[in-house]
């Protein structure tokens, strides 16, 4: 047998799938892979269900349903004061995952360099490398995850084509500060580079933090692609509806990649996402408030058990330090052990670093109902008792 693609084969199966499979096998509460347990807003689902019956189920336009592209533009104006032309500057994709792939395959040439921030979301580096480009990683360290702007500057070179930024950031829960964003923007402009901003958690910020798209910074409007996800914004992660906003000249090569990746995305789900993006502000503030309550519930429970838990300003995820409960094994050992023995799954940080991961960090998802979080804490407490 010939060998499949060596680069992708070397990555194995993503940790999210590995832990979810184990959690299902063991009947564990899955605080690993980040998905909310509910079924999303009833009205959004109802629009999708009606669209399935009443409207076309054939290929929608390659760039996306006009109503969703207009809704993405209106949403950008409403929340960020960005003037976006829904006709020319929005592309609908099959989830943020496809949006990322389309941006990387559409913008990168072999030999280009990409600056990205470690810990890394699972698909970033494999897709950068599949595009023939080279990742230049800037490490962030717990518990503060502060961006070292000198390290950032030295990651740039004459070959830097693109910066890939995720804020709010999975897995750290970090929201990049205004100064950090300004430093990134300055370097991107200086190097005449692109920025691809994974903003899937744009509505999941806590404690009064506000989301500021890099695209709104001086000089960034025409060199930034901003990615959103209906999966995250409507707590419907299985839908895989994403959207990219970028200036026409930047969007054109991205659309070239999209046309050969998926070409299009289920029209009924697009119609429902369009409806959802126009929901009143109360929906969006309620989403963040519910998630913040989940964060507080999980993090206070973990702290009661003796875990040090890092500050978390957004996303679905909290980071605990397993050394604080005297656990001497690796982060992966810990996650395997609690999934099997305690009946609670989590994700080891080593999955998010290429090498030398910070020791003893694990990610727990809190995008779950209160009773499930309480049960997870009770199970961990019982496991700690037995140890």
Binding site for ligand PMP (CB under 6 A): 34, 95-97, 121, 166, 170, 198, 200, 229, 231, 237, 240, 242
Residues in contact with ligand GLN, counted by CB under 6 A, come to a total of 4
Tokens representing 290?
């519910």
Q: How far is the CB of 188 from ligand PMP (least distance, A)?
A: 19
* Contact with ligand GLN (CB under 6 A) among 18, 23, 29, 34: 34
Q: How far is the CB of 239 from ligand GLN (least distance, A)?
A: 13
Burial bucket for residue 301 (CB in 10 Å: 0-12, 13-18, 19+): buried
| Residue 352 touches which of ligand PMP, ligand GLN, none (Cβ within 5-8 Å per kind) | none
Torsion of CA 175, 176, 178, 180, to 10 degrees: 170
Minimal CB distance to ligand PMP: which residue?
Answer: 95
Q: Is 33 in the site for ligand GLN (CB under 6 A)?
A: yes
Q: Is 315 in the site for ligand GLN (CB under 6 A)?
A: no
Q: Is 160 in the site for ligand GLN (CB under 6 A)?
A: no
Measured CA to CA in angstroms, residue 98 lies from 125, 263, 351 at distances of 14, 10, 21
Compute the half-sphere exposure of residue 117: CA atoms within 13 Å on the CB side of its CA: 29
| Residue 213 touches which of ligand PMP, ligand GLN, none (Cβ within 5-8 Å per kind) | none
CA-CA-CA-CA torsion sign (54, 238, 246, 82): positive
Q: How far is the CB of 266 from ligand PMP (least distance, A)?
A: 13
**60-86 exposure pattern, b = at least 16 Cβ within 10 A, e = fewer:** beebbbebbbbbbbebbeebbebebeb
Q: Are 171 and 200 in contact (CB under 8 A)?
A: no
- 223 to 242: interface string for ligand GLN, x by CB under 6 A: --------------------
Query: Scanning residues 163 to 182, which ones bind ligand GLN (CB under 6 A)?
Result: 170
**Residue with Cβ nearer ligand PMP (234 or 327):** 234
Measured CA to CA in angstroms, residue 78 lies from 72, 219, 232, 259 at distances of 10, 21, 18, 29
Choose among 284, 286, 301: nearest CA to 364: 301
Q: Is 353 in the site for ligand GLN (CB under 6 A)?
A: no
Largest CA distance in the chain: 60
**Residue with Cβ nearer ligand GLN (187 or 344):** 344
Summarize as ranges the residues that interact with ligand GLN (CB under 6 A).
16, 33-34, 170
């Amino acid at each position: 047998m010939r060998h499949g693609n060596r680069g992708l084969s070397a990555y194995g199966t993503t940790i999210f799938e590995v832990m979810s499979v184990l959690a299902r096998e063991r009947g564990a509460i899955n605080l690993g892979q980040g998905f909310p347990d509910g079924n999303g807003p009833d009205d959004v689902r109802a629009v999708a269900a009606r669209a399935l019956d009443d409207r076309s189920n054939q290929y929608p336009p390659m760039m996306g349903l006009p109503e969703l592209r207009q809704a993405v533009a209106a949403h950008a104006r409403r929340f960020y004061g960005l003037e976006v032309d829904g006709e020319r500057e929005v592309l609908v994709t099959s989830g943020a995952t496809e949006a990322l792939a389309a941006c990387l395959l559409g913008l990168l040439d072999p030999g280009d360099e990409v600056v990205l921030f470690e810990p890394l979301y699972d698909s970033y580096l494999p897709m950068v490398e599949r595009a023939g480009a080279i990742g230049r990683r800037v490490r962030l360290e717990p518990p503060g995850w502060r961006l070292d702007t000198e390290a950032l500057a030295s990651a740039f070179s004459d070959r830097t084509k693109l910066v890939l930024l995720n804020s709010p950031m999975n897995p750290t829960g970090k929201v990049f500060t205004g100064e950090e964003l300004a430093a990134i923007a300055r370097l991107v402009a200086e190097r005449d580079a692109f920025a691809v901003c994974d903003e899937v958690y744009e509505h999941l910020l806590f404690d009064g933090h506000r989301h500021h798209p890099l695209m709104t910074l001086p000089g960034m409007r025409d060199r930034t692609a901003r990615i959103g996800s209906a999966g995250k914004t409507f707590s419907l992660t299985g839908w895989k509806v994403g959207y990219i906003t970028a200036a026409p000249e930047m969007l054109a090569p991205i659309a070239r990649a999209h046309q050969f990746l998926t070409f299009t995305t289920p029209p009924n789900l697009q119609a429902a996402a369009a409806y959802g993006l126009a929901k009143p502000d109360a929906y969006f503030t309620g989403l963040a408030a519910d998630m913040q309550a989940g964060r507080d519930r999980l993090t206070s429970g973990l702290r009661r058990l003796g875990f040090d838990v890092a500050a978390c300003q957004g996303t679905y995820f909290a980071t605990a330090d397993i050394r604080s409960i005297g656990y001497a094994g690796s982060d992966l050992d810990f996650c395997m052990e609690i999934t099997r023995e305690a009946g609670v799954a989590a994700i080891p940080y080593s999955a998010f670093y290429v090498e030398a991961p910070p020791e003893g960090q694990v990610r727990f998802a809190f995008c779950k109902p209160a009773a499930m979080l309480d049960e997870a804490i009770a199970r961990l407490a019982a496991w700690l008792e037995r140890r």
